[in-house]
């Protein structure tokens, strides 16, 4: 039964991801200088995610629209990033944005909170 549920979940997640790619729209346009600054700032960010998770898809969609090249880390079972998320973030919950600033690391959970943070910082 668990295998069937996982199969259905992965199929639906894959379908949602496909629809997302098809319907994304356009990226935010910036001057080359402004985009370079954004790219430099996003080097201190990483998104821990599952490919087919609807909340992760929602977050990646916002990142795309804001034209943010944030490093994406797959937190699937057996991944080193899953272990890192659990050890440093405290729980395996995605999406999770790792924010490094002034040598300090913050772990931001919840897609709506992550999107709000990204919009406030980069929009």
Question: Per-domain residue ranges for the chain?
Answer: 2-122
Judge contact between 67 and 39, C-beta under 8 A: no
pLDDT of residue 24: 79
pLDDT of residue 60: 96
pLDDT of residue 87: 94
Q: Residue 83: count other Cβ atoms within 10 Å of its Cβ.
A: 12
pLDDT of residue 100: 96
pLDDT of residue 21: 78
**Does 3.40.50.970 match the CATH number of domain 2-122?**
no
Confidence of residue 2 (pLDDT cuts 50, 70, 90): confident
Tens digits of residue pLDDT in 4-29 = 877 777 788 788 788 877 887 888 89
Judge contact between 49 and 75, C-beta under 8 A: yes
């Amino acid at each position: 039964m668990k295998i069937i549920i996982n199969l259905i979940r992965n199929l639906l997640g894959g379908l949602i991801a496909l629809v997302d790619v098809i319907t994304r729209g356009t990226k935010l346009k910036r001057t080359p200088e402004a985009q370079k600054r954004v790219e430099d700032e996003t080097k201190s960010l990483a998104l821990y995610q599952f490919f087919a998770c609807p909340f992760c898809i929602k977050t990646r969609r916002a990142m795309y629209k804001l034209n943010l090249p944030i490093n994406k880390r797959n937190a699937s079972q057996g991944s080193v990033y899953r272990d890192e998320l659990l050890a440093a973030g405290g729980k395996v919950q995605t999406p999770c944005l790792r924010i490094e600033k002034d040598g300090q690391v913050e772990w931001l959970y919840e897609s709506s909170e992550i999107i709000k943070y990204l919009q406030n910082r980069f929009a």
